[in-house]
Amino acid sequence: SQQGEEDPQALSIQEGENATMNCSYKTSINNLQWYRQNSGRGLVHLILIRSNEREKHSGRLRVTLDTSKKSSSLLITASRAADTASYFCATDAGTYKYIFGTGTRLKVLA
């Protein structure tokens, strides 16, 4: 399977803490994207990082990309209860098809 892997599979933290989740993938990529999915709902696009970028910020989100290790991380700072969701990375190898990671289920406790 070409599917990427994410860890941890599940993460439970207190409100105000930072949450870090990691994504590893198998092939060379053009870009990598992170998505959020609330339970039983569609995907919300969070951030895109291109293969020639190493770090990107958007509000409370920080994404890093290490193409030599074929891995990316998503950091959510000062988490809120509303951040409770599943988070997926998706890689684009230039074929315009996305390969999704296995996902991290984040629970932020109020």
Write out the residues near other proteins by the rule CB under 8 A. Answer: 3, 30-31, 35, 40-43, 45, 48, 50, 88, 92, 96-103, 105
**Residue recorded with tokens 């599917």:** 3
Contact 79, 108 (CB under 8 A): yes
82 DSSP 8-state letter:
G
Give the nearer residue to other proteins in terms of CB position, either 19 or 99: 99
Amino acid letter, 108: V
Give the nearer residue to other proteins in terms of CB position, either 74 or 99: 99
Give the nearer residue to other proteins in terms of CB position, either 15 or 70: 70
**Most distant pair of Cα atoms in the chain: their distance:** 41
Q: How far is the CB of 108 from other proteins (least distance, A)?
A: 18
Q: How far is the CB of 63 from other proteins (least distance, A)?
A: 15
Cα separation of 40 and 8, whole Å?
Answer: 20
